Amino acid sequence: MRLHSNYKIAAGHVLVTQPGDVLLCRMAELVYEPGDGDDDTDLHVNPTDFAAAKAMCFEPKGRVQ
């Protein structure tokens, strides 16, 4: 998965692209589940949301109790 900053994406939204698929949704509604298709997936977010998207998809998560 690759993360891109794009000022044309509205703040709070994410554009997800995969071969043959394009999804535009609110970042708050996006649920990331690691999988086999991650190599071909690109996330495009507004520069103001870059750190939040990076934390959501690329940083280790805490354990749920």
pLDDT in tens, 2-49: 999 999 999 999 999 989 999 999 988 887 777 776 788 899 999 999
CB 43 within 8 A of CB 57: yes
Tell me the average pLDDT across 61-65.
53
Q: Is the pLDDT of residue 64 over 60?
A: no
Q: Can you give the pTM of this predicted structure? A: 0.80
Q: Which residues of 16-31 are buried (b: 16+ CB within 10 A; e: fewer)?
A: bbeeeeeeeeebeebe
Encoding tokens for residue 55? 């934390």
Quick one: CA torsion of 14, 36, 54, 24, rounded to 10 degrees? 0
